[in-house]
Amino acid sequence: MTDLEFLKSFFRRSRFSSLYLWSDAWILTALLLQDRNPIPLGAVIFAADWLNHAIPTPYEVNHALTLLSANGFLTLDANRNLLLTDRAKVFKNDSFLKARHFNKIDVIHKELMLNPPLSCLSVNEFFTQDDIKHAREEFARERRSGGQS
Asked whether the beta carbons of 64 and 72 are under 8 A apart, the reply is: no
Asked whether the beta carbons of 139 and 42 are under 8 A apart, the reply is: yes
Burial class (CB in 10 A: 0-12, 13-18, 19+), 11: middle
110 Cβ contact list (under 8 Å, min separation 6): none
Calculate helix-pair angle for 22-32, 58-70, nearest 10 degrees: 80
Asked whether the beta carbons of 20 and 111 are under 8 A apart, the reply is: no
Residue ranges, the chain, pLDDT below 70: 1-18, 147-149
Confidence (pLDDT) at 17: 58
Confidence (pLDDT) at 14: 46
| Residue 57 CA: distances (Å) to CA of 7, 34, 53, 120 | 13, 20, 13, 20
- pTM of the complete model: 0.83
